Structures are given as C-alpha cells and as structure tokens.
Chains A and B, each alone.
Chain A
C-alpha cells in the first residue's frame, strides 16, 4: 500500500505522543516532525531542530545520560533517522532506560518534494533498531497499534523505538523559534533553573 493511503495522520499521532506530557523532555528532528511537535504546542522543554540531519536520536542520548531521572522522547522522521542509522548502535550500547525514539515514517522526504526514502522500498527501521539491540521496538500503522506504541514510548523501560507509519501528506507549516541560542537557553533554564541554565 502506498503511504498516501496510510490511515494514521501525523498531527494526531504527535498529539497522542505528547498528551499530558508532564515533565517529558522532547527532541524534535528537522522538517515535518518539528512542525508537528510545534503544532501540538511550543514548549520550553522541547528542543526543535532546524538542521543537523541525523542528530536527533543522539541529542536524545546525551540528554538521557545527563538526566537519568527524566523521560526523553525523540520524535523524528524516517529520512532523518536514515541519515544516522549508526546512532541506533550507539544508543544500544549505552542502553539508557529513559530514552524513547518515535519515527514518523511516511516513507518520503517531505521537505524536498515527497521523494521516496529507503523505507518506501522496504527498509525496516524497527528491525534495524532491534538488530542493534534496543529492547523494545515495533512498527505500527493503525489506531490500535498507535495506542500500544504510545504507552511503550511514554512508559516502557527503554531504550524504546517505534516506527509509526503515517500518511504522506503536506501539512501547514507551524514553525518553532529559529534562534538556536534561544532554544538552547530556554530548554536549560526550564530544566536546570535560572542559575544553572545560562
């Protein structure tokens, strides 16, 4: 089935992932996942990426090691994850229990004209994550699967990895702040307090 007909819609998926987020720390990968996360509500404890493709899971890793008592959720896209596949091996070696990675997999490079990514040809990101050694992995593509995936991503002992198959669709851009220094400083202030945070 072509991803233009997948039932799950990315904005609603991200709303589910971030519902009642509490003290969750979020890293958003560049492109559409970043706009989806912002559409669900700009937040000081979200670090949205405008570039650095391939970095999202690894920023999550450094954060998870630094903040072992907090839950870290990385929300990124299939193209972004494909650029840093080795990072899944690096995550697996550290095996932080508090890290979860959700890939919104529409099988397309959405920002550049909806060209097919490798997942459109059958590359299975969850299988890669499982082979690397992440203990909780899966691929979901419907409402029942999404509900189960959200529960694992938010609560299971990790590292957790889910590929969530979402419809290939252009959505209105909802942009977070562009200033990287501002994004960094507001995150640290919100997490570490005024004194440590700057």
Chain B
C-alpha cells in the first residue's frame, strides 16, 4: 500500500524560503529528514551540520552579525545541550528560530527520550525562549511563519515544538530481530 508523504515538512520549507532563511544549522532527526532534503536541494540555503545543537546557537548569532537569517533544526533531546549557549541569545537579543521535532511524548517507545521531552517547553521558557507548540499537521507551516515573524521582527528567541503525534512514533518493534 502506497503511503502518502506528509505535507507539513514542505509547508515548513516554504515558510523558511518566504522568510529568507540562508543558513540551516542542524543535528538530524528522523522527523526532519524530509525538510533537510528540501533545504539541502535549495541553492540559497547553506546546510550547516553540527556536532551538538549548542553550536547552532553560536553559528546563527554569527550569521545575524553578518546580516543573514538562519534556522536551527533539532529533536527535543537537543534542547538540553543548548542551555548555557542561550545566554548569548538573551544577552545580545539575537533573533533565533528553532524548529524542534518532539520525542518522549505519548506513545514514545524509547524511555531514554522521555526525560528531556517532558521538560523541553519548561527549560526553553526558563532560558528566555518563547515556545510555540503545534499538534496539528495542517498548522505546522503557519506556526513556523508566526515564529519566524516573532523572531526576526522582534527580535526574539522562538522555538516551534512539533508534537510527536504529528511527527510519528518510531516503533522499535518492527526493526528489532
């Protein structure tokens, strides 16, 4: 049976193009696989793979100093890696747009994803990042657009958290021996 590809990653891509995103800093997540393909094929976007998510906070601060907009893509477990680096964003009021695919929510099959997933929104809030959650596939694109507007017109630090119900559940049972 042919599976229909979800459209929300394409909606995010269009939103990022419309807001003139030029640097895409990321640690890959399965939930972002399609979006990473789209951005990677877009000649105006420079893909910046990171060894840890906090690097992206610094790279995008440098991009803004140089007059360019960027986005940081990660899964929720990467949020904890960013906390001290977010002091750079906060002290200097750098605009920051993060798009997070959630793990560790209802239905998560890997309990090691749960601790960070449970506190993602709270720690981002404590670190001065506005959180825009979205749990309907049809509203992901507009939520990213709204987040980008808040980030770059503010300036503000904004994280869009895409719920696991949108991203899908990784089921280890079907891959295990």
Contacts and interface: CB of A to CB of B under 8 A. Distances in A.
Nearest to B62: A62
Nearest to B67: A192
Contacts of B59: 58-59, 61-62, 65, 90
Interface residues of B, number: 31
A58 B88 contact: no
B50 A183 contact: no
B54 interface: yes
Interface in A67-115: 67, 84, 86-87, 89-90, 93-94
B85 to A, nearest CB: 6
Contact of A184 (B46, B52, B68, B92): B92
B51 interface: yes
Contacts of A62: 23, 48, 58-66, 68, 70
Interface string B141-162: 0000000000000000000000
B55 interface: yes
Contacts of B67: 66-67, 188, 191-192, 196
DSSP class of A's interface residues: helix, strand, loop or mixed? helix
A181 B92 contact: yes
B57 interface: yes
Interface string B17-54: 00000110000000000000000000000101111101
A58 B49 contact: no
A60 B62 CA distance: 6
Contact of B94 (A53, A93, A184): A184
Given A62-B60, A62-B70, A63-B65, A52 B46 contact: no
Interface string A2-40: 000000000000000000000001010000000000000
B49 A90 contact: yes
Chain A interface residue count: which class?
35 or more
A137 interface: no
B86 to A, nearest CB: 9
Nearest to A70: B66
Nearest to A192: B67
B23 A87 contact: no
Given A51-B88, A184-B92, A63 B66 contact: yes
Interface of A: 25, 27, 47, 49-56, 58-67, 84, 86-87, 89-90, 93-94, 180-181, 183-184, 187-188, 191-192, 196
